[in-house]
Chains A and B, each alone.
Chain A
Amino acid sequence: MNGGIARRTLFKKLFAFSAFSAGSILSFKNNMFTGIGSLESTEANAMENPDYAIGRSKNRITIDYIGMSCFVITSANGTRIITDPFLADKKILHSQLKKEPADVVTVSCGHYAHCNVSDVGGVPYIYKITGTTELKGIKFRGIASRHLIMHEVAVLNPAENIIICFEVDGIKICHLGALGERLSDEQAKQIGTPDILMVPVGGVSTMPVNVATEVCSRLNPRFILPMHYRSERCLYPEWAGVDEFLKDKKNVLRCDSNIGSSRLEFALDEHKQLLTLTSPGPELSSGTQIIVPRFVY
Chain B
Amino acid sequence: MKIKWFNVSSFLITTDKGTRIITDPYFHNYMPEDPAPPPGWDSNRPGIAEAADVIALSHGHFDHSYIWAVKGVPRLYTGGETIEIKGVRFSSVVTWHDNYGQGGRGLNNIIGIETDGIRIMHMGDYGQKMLYDEQLAKIGRVDILLTPWGDWALPLLSRLKPKVVIPMHHTTADQMKNVKGFTQIDVSEVEFKSNALPSEMKVIMLKASLESSM
Contacts and interface: CB of A to CB of B under 8 A. Distances in A.
A binds B: yes
Interface of A: 1-2, 87, 89, 99, 105, 107, 109-112, 115-129, 133, 135, 152-153, 156-157
B75 interface: yes
B203 interface: no
Given A87-B35, A89-B35, A152-B32, A128 B60 contact: no
B31 A153 contact: yes
A157 B29 contact: yes
A1 B104 CA distance: 9
Nearest to B85: A123
B62 interface: yes
B126 interface: no
Nearest to B103: A2
B198 to A, nearest CB: 33
B57 A117 contact: yes
A184 B33 CA distance: 29
A99 B59 CA distance: 11
Nearest to A118: B60
B77 A116 contact: no
Contact of A117 (B71, B78, B80, B103): B78
Contacts of A110: 29, 66, 68-69
B134 interface: no
27 contacts: A1-B107, A2-B103, A87-B35, A87-B62, A99-B78, A105-B76, A107-B68, A110-B69, A115-B67, A117-B57, A117-B67, A117-B78, A118-B59, A118-B65, A119-B78, A121-B78, A123-B75, A123-B83, A125-B74, A126-B55, A126-B67, A126-B70, A126-B73, A126-B74, A127-B73, A129-B71, A135-B73
A128 B31 contact: no
Contacts, number: 81
B106 interface: yes
Interface string B40-73: 0000000000000001010110101111111111
Contacts of B59: 118
A125 B86 CA distance: 13
B34 interface: yes
Nearest to B65: A118
B175 interface: no
Contacts of B72: 129
B106 to A, nearest CB: 5
A129 B52 CA distance: 13
B31 A157 contact: yes
B178 interface: no
Interface in B16-39: 29, 31-35
